[in-house]
Amino acid sequence: MQHNDITKRLAWSGLLAAFGAIASIAASRVAAIAYRRIFDEDPPE
């Protein structure tokens, strides 16, 4: 029973990290698009 609980926690942590990374990349791209439209230039690095 204990092994199953650890596996579920590891799976949850992995999913949370993966979706967090995807959300971060998506937010960065959307912000860059908005910046380009507002200021008509590339965002600073």
| pLDDT at position 45 | 85
| pLDDT at position 10 | 95
Separation of alpha carbons 7 and 9, rounded Å = 5
CA neighbor of 15 nearest in space, from 7, 4, 25: 7
| pLDDT at position 1 | 59
Separation of alpha carbons 23 and 29, rounded Å = 10
Written as tens digits, the pLDDT of the chain (45 aa) is 577 999 999 999 999 999 999 999 999 999 999 999 999 999 998
Residue 18 belongs to what H/E stretch? helix 2-39
Q: What is the pTM of this model?
A: 0.74
For the chain, the domains span 1-45
Separation of alpha carbons 29 and 11, rounded Å = 27
